[in-house]
Structure 1
Amino acid sequence: MNLAEQCAAIDLLWASPFPDDHGRSTAGWGGPGYAVAELTRRHGAREEAEDRADADRDDLSALLAQGWGAPYRFSLWSVHTRALEQGAVVSEPWGWLSACAQELHSWCVGERWVALAVAHQGDDPSYQLLAVVTDVAPP
């Protein structure tokens, strides 16, 4: 997906109603209050794939910043730690996202939050650039 297609995917997520139930959708997957789309998937050696996915995020973030301003960047490490070590309940999509991503670039756009994250899930060696749109403020 090129940058124009990625922006169109984010616009679609932002403008669409959220799913009533957790699961797959035409845009990706989601649940009550959020929707997620995979924008890119990078394969290869771990460090190389992660670096390429980070570059994808940074390029898209720079483009989005032209219209929405500089992104709010924050680490999901403390969110994941609170959930694992302290048993804190973290609202979705942040709980799930904190288990597979380390950092977010996010913007508050109208009544919704738009976030970009580089995710690595389970034993899958690839890294994904995810777009998340939600009406739940980041923790």
Structure 2
Amino acid sequence: MDIAKCLTVIDALCAGEFPAPDGAPKPGAPGPGHRTVELAASHGMRAGDAGARQGTAQDFRAYREAVAERLHDRWGRQPPWGQLTVRLRLGRGEAIPEPWATLSLLTDELDVWQVTDTGRWVALGVADRDEADEIRLLAAVTRTPPP
């Protein structure tokens, strides 16, 4: 895992164009006004040993914090944004815009910043809620503010 590479990817997302709409939106897929990318992923953690998975998840959270420190320097320190309320709102049938809906299902908390002078939002989180999936460090950039 390379912090400089992660920052380069996030910078490219902040500067780049978003995909044009092409039919029905799909959860987690890039769409009008947002894009989510995998910055790093575990290998062999799908339905693996619970202890090893927990240790790997802790490593990914530490890596997220290291990347977040660099982004705090750019855009200001923000407290982590817990996802439980968004999941509850989804469960009640409230329409939550993408990428926030999918991120709430994949992560327990996000670091979120509004990028100066662009109106875009950046979110950084560890997707480790699904034990049948690899652990992933995700970055999302969107024009839509958090719900």
- TM-score in terms of structure 2 length: 0.83
Compare the two structures and name the one with the higher strand fraction. 1
Match of 1:94 in 2: 100
For residue 107 of structure 1, the aligned residue among 109, 113, 119 is 113
Distance 1:3 1:138 in 2: 25
For residue 77 of structure 2, the aligned residue among 42, 61, 70 is 70
One-letter code aligned to 1:98: S
Match of 2:63 in 1: 56
One-letter code aligned to 2:109: E
Match of 1:136 in 2: 144
SS at match of 1:107: strand
Distance 2:15 2:142 in 1: 11
Q: 1:29 to 1:83 in 2, by over 3 A?
A: closer
Kept after mapping to 2: 8 A contact 1:34/1:133: yes
Distance 1:4 1:29 in 2: 25
Alignment of 1:13-28 (within 5 A): 13-21=13-21
Match of 1:80 in 2: 87
Distance 2:17 2:130 in 1: 29
Measured after TM superposition, the shift of residue 60 of structure 1 is: 0.2
One-letter code aligned to 1:129: L
Identity %: 36
Distance 2:128 2:33 in 1: 23
Kept after mapping to 2: 8 A contact 1:79/1:95: yes
Q: CA RMSD in A?
A: 1.9
Unaligned runs of 5+ in 2: 46-51
Kept after mapping to 1: 8 A contact 2:108/2:129: no
Kept after mapping to 2: 8 A contact 1:61/1:71: no
SS at match of 2:94: coil
- TM-score in terms of structure 1 length: 0.87
Give the paired residue count: 134
Kept after mapping to 1: 8 A contact 2:57/2:135: yes
Kept after mapping to 1: 8 A contact 2:87/2:105: yes
Q: 1:128 to 1:79 in 2, by over 3 A?
A: same
One-letter code aligned to 2:7: C
Match of 1:32 in 2: 32
Whichever of the two has the greater Rg, that structure is: 2
